[in-house]
Amino acid sequence: MKVKVRIAPSPTGFLHIGTAQSALYNWLFARKNGGTFHLRIEDTDRERSTKEYEHSILYALEWLGLNWDGEVVRQSQHGIKYRKALERLITEGKAFWCNHTKEELESERKEQGEKKEPPRHICSHRNNAMHYPASSPQRINDWVLRLAVDRDVQRKIIFDDIIRGRIEFDASLLGDFSIAKSLDDALYNFAVVVDDIDMGITHVIRGEDHISNTPKQILIYEALGKEIPKFAHLPLILAPDRSKLSKRHGAVAVVDYKRDYLPEALLNFLGAMSHTFSKELLTKEEMIEEFELSKVHKSGAVFNTEKLNWFNSQYIKKLEPSKFLELAGIDVPEKAIPLITERLEKLSDVQNFDYFWKEPEYDKELLKWKEFSLEESKKSLEESSKILEKTENNEAVRSAFDELGQKLGNRGLAYWPLRVALTGKEKSPDPIDIAFVLGKEKTLERVKKAIRSL
Ligand SMILES: [Zn+2]
């Protein structure tokens, strides 16, 4: 059996970070097992689906390097398949029309609530075939097509989830659930099953928020007389408060990460978040090698931005200078690149190093070191200027500054005014390294400018 998996995002929003993780695990599973990974766009919600969102989803997957096999499948092109499958179920007596009104359904639910039973519809129309009133493709009033679900209270729907083990549901608790609003308007669970059958999906790997859909889908597979795929439900990505990660917790769209993060870092982070690998940093190839659904965790992991930043910093360090320049989009002097990439967590933070390519601006008060006076800073800078003028070699400059520190009775007093003069900032790499990158002329210019300001 050749492995065939898919992800099925709806183009009603950008690619969510959780869907990206599902995509990654599906992709790894397919690549590991010599199978194929497919993309299906679930665009049946005609009002909320847009082409822009669809394009952004495709773009985000491409950016992550999660290449899919074959053509993109779109549900909106499958209307005829759903219709045929629905008609077959009606003919075989496995699905039936119900026109119980909203009010009737509500009072049934209320009664069930009082008896502490789960809400469901046990339809009395099932055995006295109701006929849909017209051939109109539009939905008429309260009419829906329902699946005739086994009412045997003993009937269990059981599946062995590859990640979570055996899961059991009572079929009778589902009631005669609806599968379509009309022959041309199949509902979610029905469309998913017909598509998965049509695409020959062997393993359905998706978020655990779909577990409750699974028993309904299994019953639809049975009604259609098709083989049921294997299921694996992935843990959800959680916010720090352990609720499901959503917009109110910050960026959840993959495209929002593009500005600051490297796709390799995001993938490694998402991969390691809910799967045990032998080490922390892995290439995609290494992840493929080690990936096992049985190593996916059962419980959800908290989305930890600091951890993501750490992964990103590790990948930024490894960037080729030319690639870094391309991503930074700034003409960073080549000698400054290693000083920056050593310290960068997010790409846009490169702006914190702008003193490498433009004159720093700062308040002269910043030149003051701790309890020492501005006059003392001035003296320190004058000495610095002399050292920088006559000393060529980086190491010699360093030892001269150490001596200056001793002479001034405070090491910080030697280095702080120089740091501020060169960068205008409180935090920076070693000012001697910065002086080396800026070159003698520019360094002296900045030191002199600081002295003049005092
Ligand atoms: Zn009914």
Q: 93 and 122: one domain? A: yes
Q: 302 and 390: one domain? A: no
DSSP H helical ranges for 364-410:
374-390, 394-408
3-state secondary structure of 149: coil
Q: 404 and 315: one domain? A: no
| pLDDT tens track for 189-198 | 999 999 999 9
Q: 255 and 291: one domain? A: yes
Tell me how far apart the alpha carbons of residues 45 and 392 are, in angstroms, rounded to a whole number.
69
Question: What does DSSP say about strands 36-41 and 73-74: parallel, antiparallel, or unpaired?
Answer: parallel
Q: 132 and 189: one domain? A: yes
Q: What phi and psi, each to the nearest 5 degrees, are found at residue 180?
A: -160, 150
Average pLDDT, the chain: 94
Instruction: Residue 399: give its domain's CATH number.
Output: 1.10.10.350
Domain count, the chain: 3
- Asked if residue 190 belongs to a domain, the reply is yes
| pLDDT tens track for 216-253 | 999 999 999 999 999 999 999 999 999 888 888 888 89
Tell me how far apart the alpha carbons of residues 369 and 435 are, in angstroms, rounded to a whole number.
19
| Residue 423, both tokens | 């960068």
Q: Which of 234, 259, 280 is the last residue of a domain?
A: 234
| pLDDT tens track for 80-117 | 999 999 999 999 999 999 999 999 999 999 999 999 99
| Residue 426, both tokens | 């409180």
pTM value?
Answer: 0.92
Instruction: Residue 129: give its domain's CATH number.
Output: 3.40.50.620
Residues around the ion ligand 1 (C-beta < 5 A) = 98, 100, 123, 125
Cα 77 to averaged position of ligand 1 atoms, centre (Å): 30
Tell me how far apart the alpha carbons of residues 342 and 317 are, in angstroms, rounded to a whole number.
6
| pLDDT tens track for 133-157 | 665 556 677 899 999 998 888 999 9
| Residue 114, both tokens | 């009082």
Q: 205 and 87: one domain? A: yes
- Within 222-300, strands assigned E span 230-234, 237-238
Who's near 185: CB < 8 A, 6+ residues apart? 137, 139
Tell me how far apart the alpha carbons of residues 114 and 165 are, in angstroms, rounded to a whole number.
33
Q: 395 and 292: one domain? A: no
| pLDDT tens track for 306-342 | 999 999 999 999 999 999 999 999 999 999 999 999 9
- Asked if residue 30 belongs to a domain, the reply is no
pLDDT for res 136:
58
- Asked if residue 24 belongs to a domain, the reply is no
| pLDDT tens track for 24-78 | 999 999 999 999 999 999 998 889 999 999 999 999 999 999 999 999 999 999 9
Cα 227 to averaged position of ligand 1 atoms, centre (Å): 29
- Asked if residue 70 belongs to a domain, the reply is no
Q: What is the dihedral of CA 286, 288, 292, 295, to 10 degrees?
A: 40
Cα 99 to averaged position of ligand 1 atoms, centre (Å): 6
pLDDT for res 388:
95
Residues of the chain above pLDDT 90, percent: 88
- Asked if residue 341 belongs to a domain, the reply is no
Cα 129 to averaged position of ligand 1 atoms, centre (Å): 11
CA 415 from centre of chain = 43
Cα 2 to averaged position of ligand 1 atoms, centre (Å): 41
For residues 244-272, give the mean pLDDT: 93
Q: Which of 234, 268, 289 is the last residue of a domain?
A: 234
Q: 226 and 89: one domain? A: yes
| pLDDT tens track for 383-392 | 999 999 998 7
Choice among 247, 317, 318, 440 that is catalytic: 247
Q: 203 and 267: one domain? A: no
- Asked if residue 412 belongs to a domain, the reply is yes
| Residue 76, both tokens | 């909106």
Tell me if residue 390 is catalytic: no
Q: 399 and 297: one domain? A: no
Q: 266 and 228: one domain? A: no
For residues 16-22, give the mean pLDDT: 96
- Asked if residue 206 belongs to a domain, the reply is yes
Cα 44 to averaged position of ligand 1 atoms, centre (Å): 24
Q: 281 and 423: one domain? A: no
Residue 223: give the domain boundaries.
Answer: 79-234
